[in-house]
């Protein structure tokens, strides 16, 4: 999308929508300035977050040294206090250093809470569900990018822990369906979400980023089956769910690409499905393709880079997986190459159409 001044963009929208269109240019400018400040000095912020993480590690080491880790009640109270303090302070602070301290306190709170419940011999299922509930409440209560991002990761991590704790490996496909469908929907409904209300507008980026990393983590679980003991889990169920999401995205991309006849539309749709079928036992590869298509379609460059990196990683991971025969590996690599070529052709055609416009 071309970057234009707010006044010019609002004038174009008003001319297209008519006299019923109303917008507060001053408030929009202030919101854009606030958003820009979130991404300024990324190097300094990254170092600050890294410093906060190290501070959190040393703080946990200090708690262990004084023996607080031996008190389940103490760890539980500390965890709840840290989470509550982080949610309250993020509303009133406007300092990079203090913001880093809040992020560290929030992360330490979840760790302490889980450790305290475990020390009190609380059922592990309850612990996982409690972390999920607290993360959901955090998303509703806070507007901090990093806190919402961490909350989304904790929520999806809690769901994965619930599956692994109960050895319910057959239900991994339910988590795959939830994460992949949520990730697909939040990209395809981007315009509707951003135009909904202020709260949804603020939550969109951190929730999308959290789902992106959660999805990549879940694909890692599906790919590294030996580590997570998922031998008996039918991988094709998770693959079928992701393939369905990919087909929906391809359909949306084709609808927004001019110059494609109905015949070519059906051919592309059909051959895309045929190319994805041999990857039924490689859900991570299909998942990385889904991320690639979504991030390209919505123009999220960071997600596009992560999708390419994860695609290459999962291809090599499957190649070195001893659980597959050489023929299966060759088929996966061959189909992966065809997918790259198909994606390149579609992207090239769409870029040419954008240049003509």
Q: Using alpha carbons, select from 148, 136, 71 the residue that is nearest to residue 103.
A: 148
Give the C-alpha separation, 36 to 339, whole Å.
36
Asked if residues 208 and 189 have their Cβ atoms less than 8 Å apart, the reply is: no
Q: DSSP 3-state assignment of 182?
A: helix
pLDDT at 233: 57
Distances 231 to 170, 223, 227, 235 between C-alpha atoms, Å: 10, 11, 10, 9
Q: Among the listed ranges 49-53, 73-77, 104-108, 280-284, which one has the minimum average pLDDT value?
A: 49-53
Cα of first residue to Cα of last residue in the chain, in angstroms, is 11
Asked if residues 152 and 207 have their Cβ atoms less than 8 Å apart, the reply is: yes
pLDDT digits (tens, 9 = 90+) for 100-117: 778 888 888 888 888 888
- The CB density around residue 16, as the number of other CB atoms within 10 Å, is 8
Q: Using alpha carbons, select from 335, 243, 218, 354 the residue that is nearest to residue 296.
A: 354
Domain ranges of the chain: 172-357
- pTM for the whole thing? 0.77
The distance between the two most distant Cα atoms of the chain, rounded to a whole number of Å, is: 72
Q: Would you say residue 347 has pLDDT above 70? A: no
């Amino acid at each position: 999308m071309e970057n234009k001044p707010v006044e010019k963009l609002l004038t174009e929208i008003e001319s297209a929508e008519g006299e019923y269109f109303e917008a507060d240019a001053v408030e929009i400018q202030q919101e854009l300035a606030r958003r820009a400040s979130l991404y300024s000095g990324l190097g300094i912020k990254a170092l600050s977050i890294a410093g906060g993480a190290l501070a959190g590690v040393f703080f946990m080491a200090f708690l262990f040294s004084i023996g607080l880790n031996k008190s389940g009640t103490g760890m539980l109270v500390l965890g709840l206090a840290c989470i509550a303090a982080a949610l309250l302070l993020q509303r009133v602070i406007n300092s990079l250093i203090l913001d880093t301290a809040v992020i560290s306190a929030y992360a330490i709170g979840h760790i302490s809470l889980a450790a305290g419940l475990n020390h009190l011999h609380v059922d592990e299922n309850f612990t996982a569900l409690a972390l999920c509930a607290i993360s959901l409440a955090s998303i509703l209560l806070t507007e901090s990018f990093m806190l919402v991002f961490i909350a989304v990761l904790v929520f999806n991590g809690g769901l994965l822990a619930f599956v692994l704790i109960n050895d319910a490996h057959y239900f991994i496909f339910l988590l795959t369906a939830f994460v992949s469908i949520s990730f697909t929907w939040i990209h395809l409904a981007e315009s509707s979400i951003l135009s909904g209300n202020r709260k949804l507008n603020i939550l969109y980026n951190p929730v999308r980023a959290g789902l992106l990393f959660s999805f990549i983590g879940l694909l890692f679980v599906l790919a590294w089956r030996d580590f997570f003991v998922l031998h008996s889990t039918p991988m094709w169920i998770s693959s079928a769910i992701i393939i369905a999401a990919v087909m929906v995205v391809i359909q949306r991309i084709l609808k927004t690409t001019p110059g494609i006849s109905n015949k070519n539309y059906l051919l592309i749709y059909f051959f895309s499905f045929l190319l994805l079928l041999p990857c039924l036992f490689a859900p991570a590869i299909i998942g990385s393709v889904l991320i690639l298509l979504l991030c390209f379609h919505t123009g999220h460059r960071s997600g596009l880079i992560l999708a390419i990196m994860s695609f290459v990683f999962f291809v090599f991971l499957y190649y070195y997986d001893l659980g597959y025969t050489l023929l299966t590996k060759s088929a996966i690599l061959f189909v992966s190459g065809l997918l790259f070529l198909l994606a390149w052709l579609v992207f090239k055609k769409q870029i040419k159409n954008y240049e003509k416009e």
